[in-house]
Amino acid sequence: MTARIPYIGRFAPSPTGPLHFGSLVAAMASYLDAKAHHGQWLLRIEDVDGARNVDGAAEHILASIQRCGMHWDGDVSWQTQRYPLYQQALEQLGGLVYPCGCSRREIADSQVNLSGHHTQALVYPGICRDGLAPGKVERALRLKVPQSPHCVLSFEDRWAGHYSQDLTVDVGDFIIRRADGYWAYQLAVVVDDGAQGITDIVRGADLLDSTPRQLYLQQVLGLPQPTYLHVPVVVNEAGDKMSKQTGAQAFDTGADPQVLLREAMLPAARFLGLDIQAETIDAFWRAATPAWAQLLQTLPRRP
């Protein structure tokens, strides 16, 4: 195992609904990785996207995590309490940032969708890069991505292996503050991971294609690059990413710990490739941590 000392990991759910099977898998993987490295595990509620927050979801997620026997270190952090940090980063980015007056419709005309569920972003052709066109009003703030030579960023994912993206071609100048005034996920996550000293990020593979944008932001903000491990995303029979509905019943308040173990935790571990036999939640973690350490020996799993 190549442990970084100290190891600081985190789970960073968006409070868009209760913890579901897919997010349990991500939480479990990041918790196990932190434990296997004798590291810290921080909990950050990513409530920066005010348009998608659901009342009570954060509390429900935190309660579910505790009920599964996962204990975070320190206080829970909330992105909505960290706006000054994002503003500071914006100032630091200086001339790399420009106001954009384009609507989605305008950009969509000649573009293709990026795949990430967070972004549903369009490759931006740079219309406002050299100034707002006459008659346009500022909507979002974009970060310039180098054009020539292309900005190609690669990293070694601990699960998926080598990953590379040409940011210039596949993403273009991307949004760091949205037209609705909210800070963009990409900026907030990088600033927070940097400020919290996160050394190791373990999360779902739906964020693989966001990672090069985050590497770029780390570079321009002078932040260290953490290591990454993206676990496979749980999909339903239709092949869609598992969403709030599925598996949520296992997290009903008052659900028996045995039910939680049998219907949520053991299946989540199995999904990660861990064959755990346990009758109690405590026994589960005692068995799962060494099992995860062993599984790490078999990574990366290149497709």
Burial class (CB in 10 A: 0-12, 13-18, 19+), 190: buried
State the SS3 of 150-183: CCEEEEEECCCEEEEEEHHHHCECEEEECCCCCE
Tell me the window of 8-16, 106-114, 149-157, 288-296 that interacts with ligand GLU (CB under 6 A): 8-16
Please give the residues from 190 up to 209 whose contact with ligand GLU meets the rule CB under 6 A: 203, 207
Q: Which is nearer to ligand GLU, 46 or 209 (CB)?
A: 46
Please give the residues from 147 up to 186 whose contact with ligand GLU meets the rule CB under 6 A: none
Q: Which is nearer to ligand GLU, 10 or 37 (CB)?
A: 10
Q: Is 79 in the site for ligand GLU (CB under 6 A)?
A: no
Contacts (Cβ under 8 Å, ≥6 apart) of 276:
266, 269, 270, 284, 287, 288, 291
Tell me the window of 10-18, 158-166, 220-228, 275-283 that interacts with ligand GLU (CB under 6 A): 10-18
Return d(Cα 48, Cα 127) in angstroms, integer.
27
Q: How far is the CB of 28 from ligand GLU (least distance, A)?
A: 14
Is the Cβ–Cβ distance between 165 and 214 less than 8 Å? Answer: no
Q: Is 119 in the site for ligand GLU (CB under 6 A)?
A: no
Q: Is 13 in the site for ligand GLU (CB under 6 A)?
A: yes
Is the Cβ–Cβ distance between 178 and 184 less than 8 Å? Answer: yes
Q: Which is nearer to ligand GLU, 128 or 167 (CB)?
A: 167
Q: Is 215 in the site for ligand GLU (CB under 6 A)?
A: no
Which one among 7, 8, 9, 14 touches ligand GLU, defined by CB under 6 A?
Answer: 14
Return d(Cα 12, Cα 195) in angstroms, integer.
14
Q: Is 12 in the site for ligand GLU (CB under 6 A)?
A: yes
Specify binding-site residues for L-glutamate. Answer: 10-14, 46, 185, 203
